[in-house]
Amino acid sequence: MKVLVANLGSTSFKYRLFDLSSDVQLARGGIDRIGSAESSCQVEIGDYSDTATRHIPDHAAAVKICLEQLTDAEHGCLGAVSEVAVIGFKTVFAGRLSGVRVVNEELLAAMEELSDIAPAHNPPYVKAMRQLREACPEIPLVAALETGFHDTIPLANRSYAVPAAWRTDYQVQRWGFHGASHRYITTRIAEILGRDDLRVISCHLGGSNSLCAAKDGVSLANSLGMSPQSGLPHNNRVGDFDPFALPVLMRATGKSLAELLEDLANKSGLLGVSGLSGDVRDLEEAAAEGHAGAQLALDVFVAAIRQYVGAYLAVLGGADAIVFTGGIGENSQLIRQQVCDNMAWAGIELDTELNQQVDGETKISTAGSATEVWVLQTNEEIIVARQAAKAIS
């Protein structure tokens, strides 16, 4: 079965094509600046790659371009569009409509109603999926909700200390996100270690960040809460924040609630603390040159990760493995080192040399460390592809 996996932004469409009969990726590509006069189109199929510019008005047109690339007579990997069995979407949030779902009007309406929770994700997905249902009615669409992996989190770890009706009637609770990544990491580390009874702390660190505590492959806690703006600091999103600060800021700044929420969602996080950048690479370079704001941002980030690691050691009763993934988790030896510093009391001992020589799937803990520490490259798309295929089979 061939499955197309789509990752959407407001003006972008990125895709991967998988052949699940052999679990191989056949092609990948993307289109940026959708709706502008010159959209950028990239494609990689085997050894062939190409980049071009053209006007692409909307996501439906972007998908048609994608399908043209995949069925191109000279370089394509499909004989016909009909070979695509399903398009799977790494969808973020639809409240109680969690898990894996065939896209229908009920799902789209729920996503629209809850757009305040995922303002950067839900609107472009809803718009694009509606366009695709109309443009490609012969291809089923499946949404793999990012909250799905965390449906197993017990109420004690899921509930806020708010009036009960807020949870039951208004869906106010810790939902958890990055489900596809954490599902892949817990599955892959179990394969590597040859065990299905692991206690794992999965650290997805990139532009958006979260930690997950999983036992026996089942999620028990996630640092992201009601929205993707919570938990750890993100590149430009706030992370954990006391809402009672908002009235103070409204009086002091004269800004409206909507304006302050915009600041928290787009001008905060590592960018806000540093006053420089939300990119850890920039911050590490600037901190090395003495930039105090950059150093503080890194310190705040590491402190938050360590606090959640400590909490999840308590949730799991210790850990068999801690796994770093995502752009930061895979590439920043400094963040990994500082997160694991002085953690021997918890059975976590990093091998400094191994941490500096990461290449692919790498164990970076010492031989004597009771908890193994690994760096793994996540693969959210293959998880979505498998889920989408299962949903229509």
What 3-state class would DSSP assign to 127? helix
Q: Is 281 annotated as a binding residue?
A: yes
Q: CA 232 to CA 213: how far, in whole Å?
A: 14
Termini Cα distance of the chain: 10
Q: Is 194 annotated as a binding residue?
A: no
Q: Is 280 annotated as a binding residue?
A: yes
Q: Is 328 annotated as a binding residue?
A: yes
Q: Show the tokens assigned to 134.
A: 């109309």
Q: Are 28 and 42 in contact (CB under 8 A)?
A: no
Q: Are 63 and 13 in contact (CB under 8 A)?
A: yes
Phi, psi of 131 (to 5 degrees): -60, -40
Q: Is 279 annotated as a binding residue?
A: yes
Q: Is 289 annotated as a binding residue?
A: no
Q: Are 93 and 117 in contact (CB under 8 A)?
A: yes
Q: Is 363 annotated as a binding residue?
A: no
DSSP states along 85-101: EEEEE-----TTS-SEE
Q: CA 355 to CA 369: how far, in whole Å?
A: 14
Q: CA 138 to CA 130: how far, in whole Å?
A: 14
245 Cβ contact partners less than 8 Å away, ≥ 6 residues apart: none
Q: Is 329 annotated as a binding residue?
A: yes
Q: Is 327 annotated as a binding residue?
A: yes
- The annotation places the binding site for ATP at 14, 279-281, 327-331
Annotated binding site for Mg(2+): 7, 380
Bind-site residues: 7, 14, 279-281, 327-331, 380
